[in-house]
Amino acid sequence: MNDKVHIFDKPQNVRRVLWALVAMCIATIGADFVYHRHIVHPWEGVWGFYAIYGFVACVVLVLVAKELRKLLMRAEDYYDRDG
């Protein structure tokens, strides 16, 4: 099909999105230097707590889920077959 070129067909646009994300990461974690969040629990007060926790949580989530596939994954028609 003769398709027109869309926005994310260009690799430089994808790179721009990624750089924008990096810029937002730096900006929001940098805000921790200047803005003092009021806290309910001492853990919240640790510098960059939410940022680091969010990043680590997602990486752990994906890595564990990937390992779980070995345990849980079956063929698509698993329940349709006689077993």
Q: Is 33 in the site for another protein (CB under 8 A)?
A: no
Cα gap 78→83, rounded to integer Å? 8
Q: Is 64 in the site for another protein (CB under 8 A)?
A: yes
Q: Tokens 């990096």 map to which residue?
A: 22
Contact 4, 11 (CB under 8 A): no
Q: Is 22 in the site for another protein (CB under 8 A)?
A: yes
Minimum distance from residue 58 beta carbon to another protein (Å): 4
* Binding residue for another protein, selected from 13, 16, 39, 46, defined by CB under 8 A: 39
Q: Tokens 């001492």 map to which residue?
A: 42
Minimum distance from residue 57 beta carbon to another protein (Å): 4
Q: Is 46 in the site for another protein (CB under 8 A)?
A: no
* Torsion sign across C-alpha atoms 72, 75, 78, 80: positive
